[in-house]
């Protein structure tokens, strides 16, 4: 059984640290991606749900008021009708984990939209055709209303979601 806590702005990790010190198990879903910052592609991790974290509850823990009084936590998401925290089942958390693994999976399949993140062709987008060896990929890029096949390093492309 999981509950959701809203955190103060940019304090998800602080709230997680303080809740873990109190004996709660916390989870912040993260997605790894590449972003173009200052003319350079950087590998970063983004929070899937900015401003929220998930807290696993055991039957033994009854002190939910401690969560609201934790540094970094703004409030628990509550059910208006019952006045109790909104509860997520374990199945829903498994679905979230599967989606994150699917997004973080670097495998690219034929027909996927991709963007080139390194080299002279940086920022070009196209369609992945096939792998050519272990380190190269063939892409189909539309330039000046003509389709052109381009070969790039496999590590230089990222799938677009």
What does the H/E/C string look like for the chain?
A: CEEEEEECCCCHHHHHHHHHHCCCEEECCEEEEEEEECCEEEEEEEECCCCEEEEECCCCCCCCHHHHCCCCEEEECECCCCCCECEECHHHHHHHHHHHHHHHCCCCCCCCEEEECCCCCCCCEEEEEEEECCCEEEEEEEECCEEEEEEEEHHHEEECC
Task: Name all domains of the chain by residue range, CATH numbers in brackets.
Answer: 2-104 (3.30.70.940), 113-159 (2.30.30.30)
Q: What is the pLDDT along the chain (161 residues), one digit of tens a residue?
A: 899 999 999 999 999 999 999 988 999 999 887 777 787 778 888 899 999 999 998 765 567 788 888 999 999 999 888 888 888 889 999 999 888 887 777 678 888 888 888 776 677 888 998 888 888 889 988 888 888 888 888 888 888 87
**According to the model, what pLDDT value does residue 29 have?**
92
**According to the model, what pLDDT value does residue 60 have?**
59
**According to the model, what pLDDT value does residue 20 have?**
93
**According to the model, what pLDDT value does residue 21 have?**
93
């Amino acid at each position: 059984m999981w509950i959701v806590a809203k955190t103060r702005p940019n304090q998800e990790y602080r709230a997680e640290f303080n809740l873990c010190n109190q004996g709660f198990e916390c989870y912040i879903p993260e997605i790894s991606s590449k972003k173009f910052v200052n003319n350079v592609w950087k590998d970063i991790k983004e929070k899937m749900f900015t401003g929220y974290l998930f807290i696993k509850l055991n039957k033994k823990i009854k002190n939910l008021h401690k969560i609201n009084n934790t540094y970094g936590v703004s409030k628990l998401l509550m059910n208006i009708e019952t006045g109790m925290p909104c509860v997520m089942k374990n199945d829903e958390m498994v679905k979230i984990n599967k989606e994150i693994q699917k997004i973080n999976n670097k495998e690219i399949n034929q027909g996927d939209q991709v963007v080139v993140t390194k080299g002279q062709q940086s920022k070009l987008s196209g369609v992945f055709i096939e792998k050519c060896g272990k380190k190269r990929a063939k892409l189909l890029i539309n330039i000046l209303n003509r389709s052109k096949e381009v070969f790039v390093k496999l590590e230089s492309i990222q799938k677009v979601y």
